[in-house]
Structures are given as C-alpha cells and as structure tokens.
Amino acid sequence: MIIVEGINHISLPVTNLKASTQFYSDLFDFEVIDDSSKEYVYMTFDPIQVKLIKVDKLEQTYKFPVVSFAMDVDDFTEAIEEIEEKGIKIEKGPESTDTGESIVIKDPDGNLIELYYQG
C-alpha cells in the first residue's frame, strides 16, 4: 500500500494565465503564491493549492465539474448573488442534491466549477 499524507495541488488547464488568475482571485479570493513562470501559476485557498497550467488549447471539454467547492448555506446564497452581479452565467442549478444544493459555473476556459453546500 502506498501511504499518502494529502493532496499537494489540483491542476487546471487554462489558455490564458492572466484571465484565469484574475477569475479565481476575484471570485474565490485565491491568493497567488507563485507566478514566476510563463507556464503556470500556483494559487492557494488555504490549505489547498491550485496550479493553473497554460496550454495552447483545451484538448477536451468535460461534461462534469473539474472541481467542487464546499460551502455553508449562507455563503452559498451570497455566492449566487455575487455570481449574478458579476454577470457570470450559472450553467446548472441551483438544484437540490441528495444532501444539499449546488450550482455549476464556467471559468474563462470553460472548465466547469461546482459550488455545493451540504444541508
């Protein structure tokens, strides 16, 4: 058995590092921790790190969220309001799940991002 201690980072392919860094910073308050490369940017929302990796084009568009962010119900409601204020289209939801509610939005490259609260 291989014993791991956790996840180091989540990688997301993006075609425009600047636009994606701005999106995740403005909407989710991610903090840039390393933007010294032209090929990637590391961001964090403690304790999780996200690595935005520059690609020339996305090879595949996923029909499911590449990441799901957990929230409490009050933050979920406020997030919907902020998303609407910023003119970001809600691709799916709000919809009830077996244990809560979720919405799905897209980042600048079309990666599906789920916001979810467990009720």
Contact predicate 21/7, CB 8 Å: no
Q: What is the pTM of this model?
A: 0.87
pLDDT at 29: 94
pLDDT tens, residue by residue, 79-95: 999 999 999 999 999 99
pLDDT at 1: 84
Residue with token string 């467990």: 118
Distance of CA 81 to the CA centre of its chain: 17
Task: Read off the tokens for 103.
Answer: 């919405």
In the predicted model, is pLDDT for residue 38 greater than 90? yes
The arithmetic mean of pLDDT across residues 84-111, rounded, is 94
